[in-house]
Amino acid sequence: MQYPLIHFPHSLHPDLGWDDEPWATIPTLSIAHFHPRSGKHRPETYAKLLLAGDTLYVLFRVIDRYVKSECTRYQQPVSDDSCVELFLQPAGSSAYFNFEFNCGGVMLLYLIRDPGTLATGLKAFDPVDREHAEQIAIASTLPRINRTEIAGPIEWRLLTSIPLAVLRSYVGLLPVEYGAIWRANLFKCGDKTRHPHWAAWSDIGDELRFHQPSRFGQFVLTAANSRRIVDKAAARQAM
């Protein structure tokens, strides 16, 4: 699996508008490889990503049912809730970050140095300090706490902006030149919702485990494909 990670030289401030600029010009990826243990509820999940200046933006769009978010604090197990995730391995790094967000915008974030196996669990990881985590902005179309299940159907979106400076604090220099390849996978899950499900952008195979970096896809850093796109997006932010 391969995705062009469009790199705008300008700083931008995109919002949750899926079809608004600059998102209108950004390719969509589909998180649609469901593990066989998933039930009949298989939500449609999409994402768009872009790099603007020194910030990575990720926008998720989910058409969902049986939605809940009970975790309220950083580093709680948000994958138990209605959850979207980005596992990101920058070029040149042997470690990767697991960004996990419940639908209310609560995050769990580690730097994974050794994912271990299904039998052993994670063997080496560092929780990302709260000081760094607080630099990551998260916005959702849903309230932060949804303890009463939303039966749906409902569409919800979540946007996160990740300063590259946060990543550099843990893995050092980040190659951001055009053509650089970062490895990644994106997920939708709901481990303890009424209808558990596990979906991936890049297929995880038979083993129900997201921590399989050998199965990550590729993000290829790509220049914005025309000056018109760059100028239009920048002009919108100047209004």
> Into how many domains does the chain fold?
1
Residue count of the chain, please give it.
239
* Percent of the chain surpassing pLDDT 70: 94
Task: Compute the chain's Rg from CA coordinates.
Answer: 17
pLDDT at 225: 67
Q: Could you give the dihedral angle defined by the CA atoms of residues 209, 214, 215 and 217, in that order, rounded to the nearest 10 degrees?
A: 130
99-126 pLDDT, tens per residue?
999 999 999 999 999 999 988 899 999 9
Strand, helix or coil at 56?
A: strand
Domain residues for 153?
2-238
Residue 236: Cβ within 10 Å count: 14
Dump pLDDT digits (tens) for 132-153. Answer: 999 999 999 999 998 899 998 9
- Angle (nearest 5°) at CA 31 between 203 and 73: 105
Q: What is the mean pLDDT of the segment spanning 8-25? A: 93
The model carries a pTM of 0.92
Residue with tokens 């990720």: 58
Local confidence band at 236 (pLDDT 50, 70, 90 cut-offs): very low
Q: Is the separation of the CB atoms in 164 and 176 below 8 Å?
A: yes
> In CATH, what number is assigned to the domain containing residue 189?
2.60.40.1190
